[in-house]
Structure 1
Amino acid sequence: MDHWDEIRTAYHVARAGTVSGAADSLGIHHATVIRHVDSLEARMGVKLFQRHARGYTPTEAGADLARIASTTEEQFAQLGTRLKGQGEDVSGEVVITALASFSPRLTPVLAAFQHAHPNTLIRLRTGLRLFRLEYGEAHVAIRAGQAPQEPDNVAQRFLSMDLSLHVSPDYVARYGLPTEGTLDQHRFIGGDDIHSRAPFARWMAKSIPDDNVTFRVTDDMSMQQALLSGAGVGFAVRGEHPDLIEIMPPQPEWRSDFWLVTHVDLHRTAKVQAVLSWLKDAAKTWADTDPAVSLPD
């Protein structure tokens, strides 16, 4: 790391493919870029780039260096998020991650939080990827499923949601109304990951023939859209989509648990505690008004 500037320069040359592109990205003179690369190659005793008229192409060693440097630069950038979260006031960037299907419920709550704390910048990151709290990718993660096990994270049970099995009127018009006794005669919507640990996915894997799962998706929002579009039988939070037809009521093994997860280094900061308190208050309101939502005992 004594020579991080040179390594970082080489990484940007590999990414841009030219000295001028790296210079523009880093805001330095192109002669400095050449000097850094030449010095690094001499020090390491290995050729990092093939020079040609159109630019620089990484050698195998250069590509290895670029991969490592990319990760290191990303971690340095994410460190800033963690450091910014350690103040005693509720201001600056607040990063929350959740499933995309949870955002319609979550977004109004975060907007109200920002109205109460106008000096904050809210980032809501959605998707199936588990954002790494230890690298500062998020201040608070809302995760579904089993209790998170990462040793440096603090996990608190947030709420549970009851899922039931539904079809859309369009599906019924084409294929008829499924019943509990005829499920093996109908089309289903499932995840693309056949090894998913989601409770409803485990039930489907053991209860529904694989050939019946004719529409597979990679994320939870697409799963909801496929269900609403009549692609097949699928799961949804009970009562969330009034136009859907419920064909099986919630089962205990389908219940989805949600957790509030924070990193131990940031858990006690004013900013994180304020967000957690706001989210817990919102969960109480949901539980009072939505029979599909329940709070931990």
Structure 2
Amino acid sequence: MSEVMAAIVCSDQKYWRDSPAMPNFKNEHRLAWDDLRLVLAIAREGSLIAAAERLGTSHPTVFRRARDLEHRLGVRLFERARRGYTLTAAGDEIHAVALKMEQEVEALEQRLAGRDLKPAGPIRLTTVDTLICGPLVPLLARFRARHPEIVLDVTVAGALSNLSRRDADIALRAGGEPPEALIGRKLARIAVAIYRGRDAAPVSPSELDKAHWVMPDDTLSHLASVRWLEAKRLDRRAVLRANSLLTLAQAARNGIGLAILPCYLADADPMLARVCAPMSELGSDLWLLTQPELSKVTRIRAFMDALYEDIQPLKALFEGKAAQAAGGLTT
């Protein structure tokens, strides 16, 4: 029997024969669910500070609980490395059991959640800042007016939240085909184009290599626009880099340089003007994603259906056709 399993099953009759200095273990010394959550958090985050944030507590509290857990079990669970904390062999055993228990509890919660009868309760939505500052919030307001018993918990993040770990219930994201473990609906095609400040000097598409640029930094290196700029060697002309497309839009508005921006954000801004037509090679799809189990929940289904319907009249905006129809395409 392993060290960890011996600690788990210990009682008045079973104790650590190989560690005579350790006291006998009673029922209250067995692993509790909070102990398992602690191990999961440290394993996932790799640091006590980040684990404390995930658990909603303080760094000293996590340190004390980790130390007490090791003392209580009589075995070392964590190793401090240069890049943070890793699990020992004993810690790995606990982690495997904790992960399985977490998955089973979450599956149960999802099955129970699917039994609700009316759209009510919380919905955790994760999306990006350009959608929040663009067309999304009016759609959320319309949804709330229809379903006042639903509370929206919106997280703005650059990286895709882990829906399988229930970091969020629904994700509204741009990208390619979603992972097989998720289901969703394709809402629209997202067009992007090059923009300058309305009061900046006009730039011809043939003079892009002579202009200044503002571009995403390394945290957004996954964007197709970054790869395009690097392939054209226009990244050498960058005079400002930022980790937010909103910052790049603001920089372009003030004439710092050209920026590649989604049309749904920039076409609605009177202080920005297009330099060229939408660039089809840089377009992506807008997806609304959730887990298969959650798609059966009344409030989740109501939100996804409503957003799908409300996005349809905005397709021209997302596809970069709204400005052209209004005569707003300028160079």
The one-letter amino acid of 1:143's match is R
Aligned AA for 1:269? Answer: V
User: Compared with structure 1, are the counterparts of its residues 41 and 256 closer, same or farther at alpha carbon in structure 2 (3 Å cutoff)?
Assistant: same
* Unaligned runs of at least 5 residues, structure 1: 17-24, 49-57
- 1:179-210: per-residue Cα shift (whole Å, max 9, x none)? 11111111111111388343333322222432
Structure 1's 60 and 4: CA in aligned 2 closer, same or farther, altered over 3 A? Answer: farther
- Quote the Cα distance in structure 2 between the aligned partners of 1:9 and 1:91: 28
Cα RMSD, aligned residues only: 4.1
Q: CA deviation at 1:279?
A: 0.6
User: What residue in structure 2 maps to residue 115 of structure 1?
Assistant: 145
- Which position in structure 1 is the counterpart of 2:243? 218
- Asked if 2 retains the 8 angstrom alpha-carbon contact of 1:94 and 1:122, the reply is yes
- Identity in percent: 18
CA distance in structure 2 between the aligned counterparts of 1:85 and 1:60, rounded to whole angstroms: 39
TM-score, normalization by structure 1:
0.72
Q: What residue ranges of structure 2 are gaps of 5+ in the alignment?
A: 1-7, 9-29, 42-46, 50-56, 323-331
Mark the CA change 1:94 to 1:84 in structure 2 (over 3 Å): closer, same or farther.
Answer: farther
Within a 5 Å distance, the mapping from 1:1-297 to structure 2 comes to: 3-4=31-32, 7=35, 40-46=70-76, 60=80, 64=86, 79=106, 82=110, 85-86=113-114, 87-104=116-133, 105-148=135-178, 150-170=179-199, 172=200, 176-193=201-218, 196-236=221-261, 237=263, 239-287=267-315, 292=320
CA distance in 2, matches of 1:145, 1:258: 7
Structure showing greater relative contact order (alpha-carbon pairs closer than 8 Å, 6 or more residues apart): 1
Rounded to whole Å, the distance in 1 between the matches of 2:37 and 2:186 is: 45
Whole-Å separation in 1 of the counterparts to 2:321 and 2:118: 32
- TM-score for both structures, normalised by structure 2: 0.65
User: After TM superposition, what 4+ stretches of structure 1 lie above 6 angstroms from structure 2?
Assistant: 8-12, 65-70, 288-291
Counterpart residue number, 1:55 = none
Q: 1:38 to 1:271 in 2, by over 3 A?
A: closer
What is the CA–CA distance in structure 1 between the aligned matches of 2:74 and 2:222, rounded to whole Å? 46
Q: Distance in 1 between matches of 2:194 and 2:317?
A: 21
Tell me the CA shift for residue 37 of structure 1: 5.9
User: What is the alpha-carbon distance in structure 2 between the residues aligned to residue 190 and residue 96 of structure 1?
Assistant: 27
CA distance in 1, matches of 2:187, 2:226: 21
Change (3 A) 1:15 1:207: closer
How many pairs were matched up? 263
